[in-house]
Amino acid sequence: MQSKKVIVIGSGVAGLATAIRLAVQGFSVSVYEKNNCAGGKVAAFKKDNYSFDSGPSLFTQPENIEELFTLAGVSIEKYFAYQSLTTTCNYFYENGKKITACTDPVRFAAELQEKVNEPEANTLNYLKDAERLYNDIGTIFLDHSLHKIKTWWHKRIIKAISAIKYPYLFQSLHSYNNSKFLSPEAIQLFDRFATYNGSNPYQAPAMLSLIAHVEQNQGIFYPQGGMINIANALYELAKLKGVHFYFNSPVQEILHDEGNVTGIMVDGKIIDADIVVSNADIYFTYKNLLSDSLTAKKILRQERSSSAVIFYWGIKKEFAQLQLHNIFFSSDYKKEFENIFYTKQISNDPTIYVNITSKMESDHAPKGKENWFVMVNAPANIGQDWRQLKNELRKNVISKLSRLLGEDIESLIETEHIVDPVIIEDQTTSYMGSLYGTSSNSKLAAFFRKPNFTNTIRGLYFCGGSVHPGGGIPLCLKSAKIVSALIEHDHSKKINSCQI
């Protein structure tokens, strides 16, 4: 029997992982990508002897990638290596306090006790609760489609539902954290986890407290060569499994007839397919590729996630007090998120994230220098004057970092590149430059996120950060697993019905 033809639109990590899984299942898989290389938001560039990862910078749950190599029967060692880190992040506060967050919960609790007088028991109990929440609820809802009846008959669903406590759904993450910690520094630190899917801790449900388990209990890692090597490894694995790639090939349309997908159109040419998986932003998919304005409009009923402004700076000095991941908190966190989600502006006192991969790999910057990835959470693009916003933000960021680090940062910048929400949208098709599709700023946001399939067009599926289970590399890889399982199930059902 001839292999069924699958087309994957977009080669982000979810598209790559989906292509690998379907190739292993025996499908003939082709990937069409509008850019000239694979990776989507996971990308890199060089400028003036500095190397920068331009997209996601935090690596957790490496088992998601290991699973793909195991599934494909390929040894991972040749293609991908990583190391675990003992410190997740350095946190700097406007009051002069500094916290070094360790991946060892006991040491982390002791650090909070010493630095901000937070009782150790509060931190340890919180992390234990986060672990239970993740294991009892998170795994069932993150690893399976919420939009299939069989999920709700899963043997673990009763345990998951019984584990859902009132605060997880009906308290905001901030309110929940406020009830668990005494120090404002600890509250702000744990509030930050809402930003991992572009949400507001003062609105998003306390269910997001499970994210703390992923980072603080399971730990964080560094991929050798930088984050770009995640995309590179998956690309090489996909090619090994026979996946065909077509770069500089933006898809113009998803074709369907009488409720069945039939293929795609690229450069005015029709390319037939039995199955199509879109790794593009779900709004873009419906609005541009399916010309379904009604569904696209419904998607926009959900609030878009935050975006970002990123400064890539070559810094002609090394800072011993900084590590791979560093956070400089704003003095008024609530106001910062009100600006992002209500006034759609950027705070004059923003929280600043600084990632420095030259701390891990010396060849990412010239000797005695560092490559700074400096990110500030920003509103999605609604037509703001980004030129003015970036100019003001740059001054505020430099002023804040100079004050907290005791150095004139402006004089140390010898090369610079800046990305804003407009550029993010242009490069990734993420509508309005939203990094995670929709936010989780509502109690049932997870249930309103678009599913990985559609009932109106058979053979059409979706993966990536804008559909279930959400944004970020781990969840994108989980979406690939979900969609490939759906396709395998639907395909086997089709074969069985034909045999009957």
Q: Tell me the CA distances in angstroms from 274 to 27, 256, 452, one per residue in order.
A: 10, 10, 17
Q: How many domains in the chain?
A: 3
pLDDT of residue 440: 84
350 neighbors 382 (Cβ within 8 angstroms): no
324 and 419 inside one domain: yes
Distance CA 373, CA 351 (A): 14
Residues 199 and 247 placed together within one structural domain of the fold: no
CB neighbourhood size of 258 (10 A): 7
Distance CA 226, CA 49 (A): 16
Q: Is residue 135 part of a domain?
A: yes
Which helix (H) or strand (E) segment is 425 a member of? Answer: helix 421-428
**In residues, how long is the chain?**
500
Q: Clarify whether residues 319 and 416 are in a common domain.
A: yes
Element (H, E) at 282: helix 282-284
Q: Identify whether 436 is part of a domain.
A: no
DSSP letter at 420 equals: -
| Of the candidates 489, 485, 444, 483, the residue with the CA atom closest to the CA atom of residue 465 | 483
Same domain, yes or no, for 320 and 422? Answer: yes
Tokens of 352: 């600043």
* Whether residues 253 and 230 fall in one domain: yes
Same domain as 214, residue 139 = yes
Calpha distance 197→175 (Å, rounded): 18
Q: Per the domain annotation, does 71 fall within a domain?
A: no
Would residue 96 count as lying in a domain?
no
Looking at residue 498, what is its pLDDT?
46
**424 and 396 share a domain?**
yes
The verdict on 310 and 423 lying in the same domain is yes
d(CA 201, CA 445): 14
> Is 76 within a domain?
no
Which residue range is the domain that position 492 belongs to? Answer: 1-40+226-302+449-500
495 found inside a domain = yes
Token reading at 137: 């609820």
290 and 312 share one domain = no
Ramachandran area for residue 259 (φ above 0: left; ψ -120 to 50: alpha; else beta):
left
Query: What whole-number distance in Å separates Cα of residue 162 and Cα of residue 194?
Result: 24
Nearest-5° Cα angle at 210, 207 to 216: 155
Residue 375 lies in a domain: yes
Instruction: Round to whole Å and give the CA distance between 216 and 201.
Output: 18
Q: What is the pLDDT of residue 448?
A: 64
Beta strand 352-355 with 460-462: parallel, antiparallel or unpaired?
unpaired
Query: Do 272 and 377 fall within a single domain?
Result: no
- Contact criterion met (CB below 8 Å) for 52 and 371: yes
- Residue at token pair 């404002």: 184
Q: Which of 199, 171, 213 is nearest to 61 (CA)?
A: 213
Taking the chain (500 residues) in consecutive chunks of 10 residues, what is each chunk's mean pLDDT?
Answer: 87 98 98 96 97 96 98 97 97 97 96 98 97 84 69 58 65 96 98 95 93 96 98 98 98 97 98 98 96 93 94 98 98 97 96 98 98 98 97 98 98 98 92 90 69 95 94 95 94 57
- The answer to the question of residue 126 being in a domain is yes
Neighbours of 121 (CB within 10 A): 10
Separation in Å, CA 211 to CA 37, 60, 126, 217, 480: 31, 11, 11, 10, 20
Please answer whether residues 272 and 4 qualify as being in contact, where contact means their C-beta atoms are separated by less than 8 angstroms. no
The two three-digit tokens of residue 149, written as one number = 């009846």
Token reading at 205: 């449900």
Residue that terminates a domain, selected from 174, 196, 218: 218
Question: In angstroms, rounded to a whole number, what is the distance separating the alpha carbons of residues 278 and 7?
Answer: 8
**One-letter amino acid of 433:** G
Of 218, 252, 278, the position where a domain reaches its end is 218
pLDDT at 163: 60
